[in-house]
Amino acid sequence: MNENTTQLHPAFLTRMKEMLGNEYPAFLSSFSAPRTYGLRINTSKITCEDFENLSPFPTRQIPWIKNGYFYDEDIRPSRCPYYQAGLYYLQEPSAMTPASRIPIEPGDRVLDLCAAPGGKATAAGAALQGQGLLVANDISTSRARALLRNLELFGIPNVFVANETPAKLTKAFPEFFDKIILDAPCSGEGMFRKEEALAKDWTPEKSMELSEIQKELILQAADMLRPGGLMLYSTCTFAPAEDEQTVSWLLKNRPDMELAEMEDYEGFSHGVPEWGNGNPELTKCIRIFPHKMNGEGHFLALFRKKGQAIKESSRPHTKPDKNAFPLIEEFLNEIGLKTLCGQPFDWERVEIRGDKAYYLPPVAHNFRGITFLRNGLYLGDLKKNRFEPSQPLALAIRKDEAEAVISLSASDERITRYLKGETLNIEPEEAAHKKGWHLLCADGYPIGFGKLVNQILKNKYPAGWRV
């Protein structure tokens, strides 16, 4: 045992030795290997090719994730303005795998049941390209807030961020979703290298306790999946009680659920039937071990619900409050915005609540009784005679979608100063107009709003977003 494995509980090591046999020494050695660092490109804002051309730091493609890149430990991608523009999400490479193995298409109705802080939900939202609906839920209020912030940073407009018990959601959404991600709370054995606290907190009883929760969650999630829909179950643990055994339990209790194949990669291992109830179908599950590939540790199972359901088309929203529209319209005209996330701006989706304006998801649903943090995109505030745009609106606008922009190079020190809340001097040739609302962009990618007066850009980057 080396210094990196002395923290590990002897019962954990004994179980891993039994599971891995002659691979066990390699598994142990992986604890002395450096951690892997990754970022995932937000393809709803930038293509991978454009990112590769733009990236100011070196990256290497993650071979099993189309839009994922490794970066070195000494790089701080969160300090780069592209991060504040929502161009990528920092995520451990194996944790990118679940969202990459469920085929989400624009227009789908997607649920991420245990979504905070948003590692999988941001990927699902980007795949939707503004069409369909993403319900992202977490039972913890503080974690749901972090989830909302990450979805806003990613510029995802068609989202409903809930803070509910899965039982309540199950009642509201019977057989509603085309795709479901259940990234369950787990003992986190695959994250021991990344988070030492998880290793210290591990007890032999923990997996059994968590597996009871996982069984309940997976049944509730199955209830919300429409026939013909797909559900991805994942954990970041190696414990069979939380992996193959949870999957076996669902298959046994829900004959309408079957396992589906996922796109393979040479470094993946597969589910082991004997670690579950012996069902040979369990080999369709994917396991990620740190001694087999450049990732920490994960388990994935993709389920299909048997049968077919006709996909309901989106319904228009009812009763838009048109009184507030002129102020919003005036603002949209001022910045020259006609589309949002590539779709024509749809006034039927504008909802006014109090003095706030929202852009509802294109899929209408009755969310009554559900505790939520956000329904749609927060557009901004209605003041007495004017409209103040929100930061989430700035981030939902795609490159070249607005006309009134000030586009500086990401390396221009004014971008850093803007992100700190300072006012900026802008040369006449740098701004689209002489005065008024502008969208400040880093290399064309929106960062936030400002108001130009006499070559001074008044900073509208909200205090809570500053770096």
Ligand X SMILES: C[S@@+](CC[C@H](N)C(=O)[O-])C[C@H]1O[C@@H](n2cnc3c(N)ncnc32)[C@H](O)[C@@H]1O
Active site residues: 236
Is 50 labelled as part of a ligand binding site?
no
Is 119 labelled as part of a ligand binding site?
yes
Q: Which backbone phi and psi does 153 adopt, to 5 degrees?
A: -60, -35
Count of residues interacting with ligand X (CB under 6 A): 16
Whose CB is nearest to ligand X?
119
Is 167 labelled as part of a ligand binding site?
no
> Residue 323: left if φ>0, alpha if ψ -120 to 50, beta else—which one?
alpha
Q: Nearest Cα to 447, choosing from 406, 411, 413?
A: 406
CA 243, CA 235: separation in Å to the nearest integer?
7
CA 56, CA 227: separation in Å to the nearest integer?
46
Tokens 């005036």 — which residue?
Answer: 330
**Which range touches ligand X (CB under 6 A), out of 80-88, 100-108, 110-118, 417-425?**
110-118
**Judged by CB, which is closer to ligand X: 128, or 426?**
128
Q: Which of residues 391-450 bind ligand X (CB under 6 A)?
A: none
Does residue number 119 form part of the binding site for ligand X (CB under 6 A)? yes
CA 309, CA 226: separation in Å to the nearest integer?
7
Query: Residue 298's beta-bridge partner residues?
Result: 288
From residue 124 to residue 163, the character string flagging contacts with ligand X as x (rule: CB under 6 A) and all else as - is: --------------xxx--x--------------------
Is 183 labelled as part of a ligand binding site?
yes
Q: Least distance in Å: CB of 120 to ligand X? A: 4
Q: Least distance in Å: CB of 294 to ligand X? A: 19
Exactly one of 38, 81, 86, 118 binds ligand X (CB under 6 A); that residue is: 118
**Judged by CB, which is closer to ligand X: 138, or 401?**
138
Chain center to CA of 299: 18
Is 338 labelled as part of a ligand binding site?
no
Is 118 labelled as part of a ligand binding site?
yes
**Span between the terminal Cα atoms of the chain, in Å:** 42
Does residue number 189 form part of the binding site for ligand X (CB under 6 A)? no
H-assigned helices in 154-294: 166-172, 196-201, 206-224, 244-253
Is 21 labelled as part of a ligand binding site?
no
Which amino acid belongs to residue 224?
Answer: M
CA 206, CA 221: separation in Å to the nearest integer?
22
CA 59, CA 71: separation in Å to the nearest integer?
5
Exactly one of 106, 185, 336, 421 binds ligand X (CB under 6 A); that residue is: 185
Chain center to CA of 340: 20
From residue 208 to residue 247, the character string flagging contacts with ligand X as x (rule: CB under 6 A) and all else as - is: -----x----------------------------------
Q: Least distance in Å: CB of 185 to ligand X? A: 4
Does residue number 460 form part of the binding site for ligand X (CB under 6 A)? no
Is 120 labelled as part of a ligand binding site?
yes
Q: Work out whether strand 405-408 and strand 436-442 pair parallel, antiparallel, or are unpaired.
A: parallel
Q: Least distance in Å: CB of 459 to ligand X? A: 31
Q: Which residues contact 319 (CB under 8 A, 6 or more apart)?
A: none
Does residue number 115 form part of the binding site for ligand X (CB under 6 A)? yes
Say if residues 44 and 126 touch (Cβ distance below 8 Å). yes
**Judged by CB, which is closer to ligand X: 90, or 352?**
90
Q: Least distance in Å: CB of 302 to ligand X? A: 16
Q: Work out whether strand 109-112 and strand 177-183 pair parallel, antiparallel, or are unpaired.
A: parallel
**Judged by CB, which is closer to ligand X: 140, or 411?**
140
Q: Least distance in Å: CB of 215 to ligand X? A: 11
**Judged by CB, which is closer to ligand X: 172, or 324?**
172
Q: At what angle do helices 141-153 and 121-128 cross, to 10 degrees?
A: 40
**Judged by CB, which is closer to ligand X: 81, or 98?**
98
Exactly one of 63, 106, 117, 273 binds ligand X (CB under 6 A); that residue is: 117
**Judged by CB, which is closer to ligand X: 115, or 440?**
115
Q: Which backbone phi and psi does 57 adopt, to 5 degrees?
A: -130, 155
CB crowding 330-347: b at 16 or more within 10 Å, else e: ebbebbebeebbeeeeee
Binding-site residues: 114-120, 138, 183
Binding-site residues for S-adenosyl-L-methionine: 114-120, 138, 183
Binding site for ligand X (CB under 6 A): 113-120, 138-140, 143, 166, 183, 185, 213
